[in-house]
Structures are given as C-alpha cells and as structure tokens.
Amino acid sequence: MDFNDTPEEAAFRAEARAWLERNAEPRDSEDRSEGVLQEGDKPGALAAAKAWQKKKAAAGWVCITWPKEYGGRGGTPIQSVIWGQEEARFKTPPPVFAIGLGMCGPTILAHGTDAQKKRWIPKLVTGEEIWCQLFSEPSAGSDLAGLRSTAVKKGDEWIVNGQKIWTTGAQFSDWGILVVRTDPNVPKHAGLSYFVVDMHSPGIEVRKITQINRSTGFNEVFFTDARIPDENRLGAVGDGWRVALTTLMNERASIGGGGGGGDPFGDLMELARSVEIDGRPGLEDAAVRQQLADFYVKSRGLAYTGYRTLTALSRGQTPGPEASLGKLVGAPLMQQMGAFGMELEGLAGGLGGRTAPDGGTWQNHFLAAPGLRIAGGTDEILRNIIAERVLRLPPEVRVDKDVAFRDVPGGRA
Ligand SMILES: Cc1cc2nc3c(=O)[nH]c(=O)nc-3n(C[C@H](O)[C@H](O)[C@H](O)COP(=O)(O)OP(=O)(O)OC[C@H]3O[C@@H](n4cnc5c(N)ncnc54)[C@H](O)[C@@H]3O)c2cc1C
C-alpha cells in the first residue's frame, strides 16, 4: 500500500484544489447538508446543481475518465478519485447527476452506438439533462432478472407496460435507463432488453414515496402503453442482462468507493466529550470508551481498505472486492454510530429534524443507513458475492436458471 501521491498525482491535486478554491466555498463544520441526490427536491437545488455542473464542464473538471471527444477529460481513474476527494471539501449543490454520471453514462459509452453517444453523453456532461435508473420492481430487486415489466415491438417502436419502484430522482429526471422483458419464452436472464426512455413521454406516471426521514427521493413509476423508439435500445434485443451488468458494476463501484468529506468518528468523539454521564464527561465512562474504541477500529479498517483501492487505481490496476466490503461494513457502522450518537444525546436524541441537537446529524445517519444497506446490493447479496467470488465457496442453488420465464411460478408478466 502506498499512502502518498506520485509527483503527477500531487500536481493534479494542486491544480484541482486551486480551481476549487477560486470557484467554490470550503465546507465548514456547521454545514449539515448530506450531499445526497435526494436533496434535489429542495427549492433551488436543481438550478444550483445544473449551474455547478456547467461551470465544472466548461473548465474540464467533469467526467475525468471519459473520452475528450464526448466532453470528458480523458484522464485516469485515480485522477477521478483525487478530484472527488478535493471536491468533497467544498460546499457544492446536491449531486443530482450522480446516477447519470456514475451509471448511465458509462453504460452508454460501453454499449451505445456512435449516434447514441453523441445524442446523450454531451448533455449529461454539461448538466443539461438529468437521468434515473428504472430497474427495480415490486417483485424484482435482488433478483433483478425476475422483473415483469414488458416491452412489445410494434413497427419501429416498443410498447412498454408495467411498474418500477425505488426510482431515485425520477421526479426531476429527463431520461431513464430501463430494463424490461421482451421474451418470456426463454430463461429469465435471456429475455431482457435495455432501453433509454424519455421520462416526459405520454404513458409514464411518476408517484413520489415519502420515506421514514420525510425525504421524497424515491418514486414508483408506472408505464401504460408508453412508447420507446427502437433507436433508443442499448445493445441487442435479448441482450439486456449483459448491458445491465455494466450498469450494476458501475453502481457498486460508485457506492462502495464514495469518499465523503466528513469525519463521523471525530464528531462522535466530540459529542462524547461534551455530554455528561453521572456528573462526568461522557468520554470518561468505561462503556462509552469501549464502544468508541470498537467504532475506531472499524473506521480505521475501512479507511485502510479504501487506501488499498486507491493504491490499485494509482498503479493502473482494477480494484478487487473492496467496494463490496466497504459497503458491507461501512453502512451498518453508520447506523450503529447514529444510534450511539442519539443515545449520548439522552432524551433530546429522540427529537427529529431541526429541533434535534446538532441539526439532527445522528438521527439522519440512523434513519438513512438502512437504505444504504439495501441500495446497490443488500448486505446478504454482498455476502453472497464475497462468498462466491472471493472465497470461492459453492454457488447458491438457482432453480429457475434454465427454465423459460413464463414457466417459473409467478413468472408470467
Ligand atoms: C437508497 C436506495 C436507492 C435506490 N435507488 C434505486 C434506483 O434509483 N433505481 C432502482 O431501480 N432501484 C433502486 N433501489 C432499489 C434497490 O436496488 C433494491 O431495493 C435492492 O436491489 C433490493 O431489492 P428489494 O428491495 O426488492 O429487496 P429483496 O430483493 O426482495 O430482498 C428482501 C430481503 O431478502 C434478502 N435476499 C434476497 N435475495 C437473497 C438471496 N439470494 N440470499 C440471501 N438473502 C436474500 C435481501 O438481502 C433482503 O434482506 C434503491 C434502493 C435504496 C434503498
């Protein structure tokens, strides 16, 4: 493991930091914004996010690894990570382009035709169009290939019917990536096709879902005879699973590799120092110290695992299973630290929103972490991946693997 920047990386970091210092304000300790896509719903957030993306694009600071011909910088993965680390130190609008840039763009670049790349990539780069991911359904999440929404070809168009759910940001998206069943007569993975859909088309209804923390980042999306031109298909008919895997690999990498600018462990230490337990600072309590030590060990373990990923990127290698490990340990840790922070706050810990101490930081961690434990692969699915691909344990039994989808119980679309 190498913790230091190479001379080239240090020069790139200095250039990035200098540009950010000229164009953005540093984050301060009072800044409670969470930097999540869902905050795009706040008044003025979309306009601010679009303006920031446009400014960065004009200066060449977006899509660091994408080809220059489509508006990217033509840089390396480690430069992309360095830019992310530096940008996290500054106040920036909610990342409403995260799904487009992290998942849709890379999939279009990998599987799209030249015409498709020219149509969609530049406006993604400059922040003119926002994207969402229409994969999950009420009965297809972990088992995504079991989805039931259908598309039937009619002339040069596909007629889409069905329902998607948990679609983050659909309420303000212009385009969506969509996987649907185009052939129920073959095994589930073989009967899927992948499309790009105009979210403003007739026949698409977006309904917001209100979450436990009152955020409305998710939606249900209903398709009733919605039409998609065949030219919006990514990859061959029936090859949608292969295209979807590109999206899912990019999703896991973008969730697992997130750096973030905060220091939750340091904040928790501060809180423990400031509260009183039996007339003494909380930090002097043996049980508090033991719990903090446990959090510290896990936090450092995560940090060093992250450095391993960075070292691999810096050497031009592909990182291993660290992204799955980081999310599997990091998301539950965030939930446990949230719960402990609320406990340290005593009765006030039960308050919510702006009335809570510290602007509700610990309450937010506690309520948002379960979502992180599900998105981009649940804890159990990540364990399966680690068991099968890292530890080489025998694979799960998959009884529906070679059966035509229409013959799988409940499989009829
Ligand atoms: C914050 C967040 C954002 C999201 N954004 C989007 C989005 O923008 N677009 C989109 O399409 N989807 C999105 N999702 C949906 C997400 O992809 C699914 O929730 C996820 O894939 C899990 O699917 P599910 O909810 O149907 O749960 P299920 O797959 O039904 O799982 C239920 C339970 O069964 C367990 N389980 C399932 N299969 C196995 C197995 N084989 N072995 C052991 N245990 C198993 C799971 O671990 C879980 O505990 C989002 C979810 C969250 C939480």
If you measure from the C-alpha of residue 220 to the centroid of ligand 1, how many angstroms do you get, rounded to a whole number? 14
Is 39 in the active site? Answer: no
Torsion sign across C-alpha atoms 192, 164, 93, 369? negative
Helix axes 322-344, 361-372, angle to 10 degrees: 150
Q: What whole-number distance in Å separates Cα of residue 378 and Cα of residue 383?
A: 9
Tell me which long-range contacts 397-402 makes (C-beta under 8 A, separation of at least 24): 400/146, 400/187, 400/188, 401/187, 401/189, 402/187
- Of 123, 124, 141, give the one whose Cα is nearest residue 179: 141
Question: Coil, helix or strand for 209?
Answer: strand
If you measure from the C-alpha of residue 178 to the centroid of ligand 1, how many angstroms do you get, rounded to a whole number? 17
Pairing of strands 175-181, 131-134: parallel
Largest CA distance in the chain: 77
Structure tokens at 16: 């990035």
Q: What whole-number distance in Å separates Cα of residue 221 and Cα of residue 179?
A: 13
Q: Count helices and strands (H / E) in the chain.
A: 12, 10
Helix axes 286-314, 264-274, angle to 10 degrees: 160
> Is any atom of ligand 1 closer than 6 Å to the C-beta of 215?
no
309 CB burial (10 A radius; 0-12, 13-18, 19+): buried
If you measure from the C-alpha of residue 327 to the centroid of ligand 1, how many angstroms do you get, rounded to a whole number? 14
Q: What whole-number distance in Å separates Cα of residue 96 and Cα of residue 166?
A: 16
Helix axes 77-87, 7-23, angle to 10 degrees: 40
> Is any atom of ligand 1 closer than 6 Å to the C-beta of 219?
no
Q: Which residue has the tokens 């110290």?
A: 289
Contact criterion met (CB below 8 Å) for 289 and 300: no
- Among residues 251, 270, 284, 396, the one annotated as catalytic is 251
- Each residue's pLDDT tens digit in the chain (413 positions)? 667 889 999 999 999 999 999 999 998 765 555 566 666 777 788 999 999 999 999 999 999 999 999 989 999 988 998 999 899 899 999 889 999 999 999 999 999 999 999 999 999 999 999 999 999 999 999 999 999 999 999 999 999 999 999 999 999 999 999 999 999 999 999 999 999 999 999 999 999 998 877 778 889 999 999 999 999 999 999 999 999 999 988 886 666 544 455 788 999 999 999 999 999 999 999 999 999 999 999 999 988 888 887 777 777 776 666 667 888 999 999 999 999 999 999 988 888 767 778 778 899 889 889 988 998 889 999 899 889 888 899 998 888 888 999 998 877 65
Q: What whole-number distance in Å separates Cα of residue 359 and Cα of residue 33?
A: 10
